[in-house]
Amino acid sequence: MARSIGMAADATVFRAVITITNRDGTQTTKHEGPYGSIGAARARVSFWTNYLAEHDEETFEPTGKSRAHGYVEEGSVTWTPA
């Protein structure tokens, strides 16, 4: 998916690192970004945590657990002609 992140060449960028525990117990790590703000990356971590939240099988009430968790990394990008 293309993104428009118009920013200075030396700007800090952020990415979301999400670890998902699959139903078979294996884990998958995803990296989403880059984003121009830390808030945008945090929102992606929140999305996956909420999207894969566990629910009680009988009442479907949230258990407070999720099959996803994550954190945000920051970095800088060096742009060179391709």
- Tell me the residue range of the domain where 62 lies: 16-76
Both ends of the chain: CA-CA distance in Å? 19
Residue 7 lies in a domain: no
Of residues 1 and 75, more confidence is placed in 75
What does residue 40 show for φ and ψ, rounded to 5 degrees?
A: -65, -40
Task: Convert the pLDDT of each residue in 40-78 to its tens digit.
Answer: 999 999 999 999 999 988 998 989 999 999 999 999 887
Q: Is residue 54 part of a domain?
A: yes
Q: Does any domain span residue 46?
A: yes
Establish if 2 belongs to a structural domain. no
Query: For residue range 2-50, what is the model confidence (pLDDT) as tens digits?
Result: 455 667 777 889 999 999 999 999 999 999 999 989 999 999 999 999 9
Residue type, position 72, single letter: V
Residue 24: half-sphere exposure toward Cβ, Cα within 13 Å: 2
Residue 8 forms part of a structural domain = no
Write down the pTM of the prediction: 0.81
Residue 30 domain-assigned (yes or no): yes
Specify the number of domains making up the chain: 1
